[in-house]
Each structure stands twice: as C-alpha cells, then as structure tokens.
Amino acid sequence: MRHPLPPSDLNLRRLPLVSLPGPFVHLHDATKGALYFGRAGRYRFDAPAGQYGVLYCGNDTHCAFIQTFGHDTVINVVSLGDLRARTLARIELRRPLSLIDLTGAGLARIGADNQLCDGDYTVAQQWALALHDHPDQPDGIYFRSRRDPSRLCTAVFDRAKGALTATSLGSLADSENAILLGTILDTYGFGLVGT
C-alpha cells in the first residue's frame, strides 16, 4: 500500500518539532563544499522541482557512511577510490536547529507512517515540500536511517544555511581515519577493495 500524500489540513497541524544543537556529520562529494545544499531532486526529502536545497547529515560517522554507501543491499563492498572521492565533515551549529521529528510518535501526529522515511521517494518529496512550506518554517527533518534504524539522520533545508559551519575531517581512506573506518566496516560487514 502506497503512503498517502500530505493531508489538506497539514498547515493547521502542530508539527512535532525537536531542537537539536548538533554537531552532525556529513560525508560529501570531495568536489563540492561540505555545506552544499543539493537541488537535484534525487534524494528522499529533496524538493521535487528544486524549490529549496537540502543538506543530508548523520548524527555520527557510522550513519553518514551507511547513508552514503549502503544503498546496494546485495553487495556490501566499498572501494578505496569511492572513499577518497568523499570527505568527512563535522557540521557545527551556531544555533540549535528546529527539526520535524519523524523518529517516533511525530509521524502519527502529522498523518504519516514510517513508509515516509523508507518508502517511495516521490511521495516523500511531496511531504518534504509541504513540511518545508508549513507556517512553522522548520529548519529540516529528523528521521531514522533506512539501512540502520538505530542511527539518526537530518535533512537540513537551505533556509538554515547561515546556522552551519563545517570542519573537514579528511577522507575515510586517510591513514588517520583507519581505526574509525575499520570499526564502521566491521559494524556493517562491509569489505574494502583497492582503487
């Protein structure tokens, strides 16, 4: 059964907002800045027609890794080349973000269920647009990772861009991140291949 579209009275409903101080972790394309807010409409809570940009973060490095490299559920392998093509960044906040909490009871309060966070992207994008445009003007969406529901993710709307700063932590392929990478690969049962 397909998840319903946003209810017509969504703007009258009180959003389940949570205030989070950060920090977050972002594993980003090394050719783009850490604070790149995409408008391509390729991901779950993107604007369907590029009406706003979105920056996806995890609450920790494990989350950032599995959200980036865990899309293929059959082959759990990552290459050194793929790791080198991405840079790990710590996202600090100048102020807490006001996020729509979709990690629990908040889903029911707005007329949704967890399919919104792990189902069809087209429906999720319609919801994201409606939530973005809600009179409460939230900074983004807080949700569970589809590949590891114990990890929490944030889709930050570009209206909050001025509240963010980024510090590069290098690539997960860098020698100083070897222990961290080993822990993540062990956690998710991923293999590592050269190039």
In tens, the pLDDT along 28-80 reads 999 999 999 999 999 999 999 999 999 999 999 999 999 999 887 677 899 99
Residue-level pLDDT at 111: 94
| CA neighbor of 114 nearest in space, from 15, 18, 44, 188 | 44
In tens, the pLDDT along 162-181 reads 999 999 999 999 999 999 99
Quick one: pLDDT band at residue 9, thresholds 50, 70, 90?
very high
Residue-level pLDDT at 71: 80
Answer yes or no: are the C-beta atoms of 172 and 69 closer than 8 Å.
no
The whole-number average pLDDT for the span 106-129 is 94
The whole-number average pLDDT for the span 121-137 is 97
Question: Distance of CA 99 to CAs 33, 108, 141, 186, Å?
Answer: 23, 16, 5, 31
Whether 194 has a pLDDT exceeding 90, the answer reads no
This prediction has a pTM of: 0.94
Token digits of residue 55: 């920056």
Token digits of residue 103: 């990690």
Residue-level pLDDT at 1: 75
Measured CA to CA, the distance from residue 15 to residue 107 in angstroms comes to 10
Whether 25 has a pLDDT exceeding 70, the answer reads yes
Quick one: pLDDT band at residue 157, thresholds 50, 70, 90?
very high
Measured CA to CA, the distance from residue 111 to residue 79 in angstroms comes to 41
The domain ranges of the chain are: 10-70+89-168
| CA neighbor of 100 nearest in space, from 14, 3, 189 | 14
Residue-level pLDDT at 2: 84
